[in-house]
Every structure is written in C-alpha cells, then in structure tokens.
Structure 1
Amino acid sequence: MTPVYAPLCKTVERALMPMGFRIVDEHEFVARFKKDSDWSIVFEGERYMQPAFGLFLVFNFEKNSQEYYSIRLLMKIFGIDEKPSLNAQLRFISDHSKQLFDADRTYREAYDKLDNHTP
C-alpha cells in the first residue's frame, strides 16, 4: 500500500476485524478484506486523485459472477445523509452488516437503479 493510503487501509483493517474480516490481498492501491463467506470488502485508493478512495462490498470476488456495491451508494439507499467519510462508511458497514450481508440482498434493485441512473 502506498504511503498515502497505508494509514487509511489500517483504519479499515481495525474497523473490520471485529466483524471477522481479515486482509487477504494488498497491492499498491487496493486491499481486500474477507471473512468466512462469499463476501469481501475492497478498499481502493485513487491512483491519480490522491487521497480519494472507494470502499466496496463484493459478493463472489473469486468467481466470475462478482457483484460490486459502492458503500457510498448503499448509504444513499439506506437513507444515510451523512458525508461519506471513511469513518462514516465503516460505521455504516458495522451498523447495517446484517442487512448488507443478507443472502437476499434486498437493496439490489434500488442499487441497480441508482448505479445505472434509471428512474
């Protein structure tokens, strides 16, 4: 992890550990955290617009049928109006983990509409 993103990655790691996530893959701008399920959380630093970053919930990371969900968009779907700082996004994951990691992913349709900008 680059020096710009290393402290942010450590913050993510500390926040996700109590939920059972461990770092399984780390590169210059990306770190992936996984628990004993098909769910991963990916921290991705922006290469050219540092210190911009993205935090993503990923289902089936190792398979071809990956589903990526931006935590920022999920916050909107769940009605969270808070600025999507790193701490706010991590708090959101913790507070809504039961719904986020639900097998039914009841938020999927709303997410697809918001992500694709369809009415």
Structure 2
Amino acid sequence: MGMLKPATNIKISQADALKIFEWLHGKSGLKTSDMTKEDQGMAQTIMVEMLDASFAVGFIEALFRSSVKVPSGPAAVIKAFLKGAGKNLLKYKDKDDIKKMLKKPIIYKMIYNTVKLKTKSLWAIRISIGEW
C-alpha cells in the first residue's frame, strides 16, 4: 500500500465514509455532514485497497491450501488450486458474483490492521485540522 490519493469518481456517501473511518479508527466526534468530498474519496480509496489486498491474500491462501494437501500429480494440484482460487477469481466475473461478494465481503484481519496502522496518523491530522 503506497501513498493513498482520494478517489475522484466517488461512489460512497458521506455516511458511508464516516462508517469506514469509524470502523478503522473508532468514534471521532465527526458527524456525517462533516465529511467532505475528499473524505469520501479517501474512504473509498481505503476500501478499494483493502478489498484488492484481501483478494490477493485469498488467491495466495487458495494456492497454499492446494499445495498443502499434496494431491497426486501436477494436474491434481492445479485442479485443487483452481477450486480454491475460483472463489476469489469469480467474484468479479459477473453481477451475480458481485452480489455474493456483497453478502459476505472478506477483508482479512492482517489487511485491516495494516491499513489501520498506515492511516492512523493521517486520520488524526484530518480530525485535528479538518483536512488531509
């Protein structure tokens, strides 16, 4: 996760932006109406980063699980991997897969902790002076 830049094509609301920040950093005393377009963009960027990273971790997890079972022959390893990774790869394939992902989104705890740590100071500055 490099330097985050607020998204310019904002898809989330002020309320959702505040919920994302409160989920990461706890209550801040800010109200929904305090959320700016830049706040919304930053919250959206953070969420995309977390989902992308969790997708990548899920892919690696599927590879790991397929190799740990040590099925017979390379074809069996590939098949086992695709079964495990398919959950992650197919989530973005079509609308039905996206709906399934929305019902049960996966963000790994290590991703959450990393993002929380990397955005903690930025969020503290935002709360104290009102801008990023």
Please identify the structure whose Cα radius of gyration is greater. 2
After TM superposition, the score normalised by the length of structure 1 is 0.26
Which one has the bigger strand percentage? Answer: 1
TM-score normalised by structure 2 residue count: 0.25
More RCO (CA 8 Å, sep 6+): 2
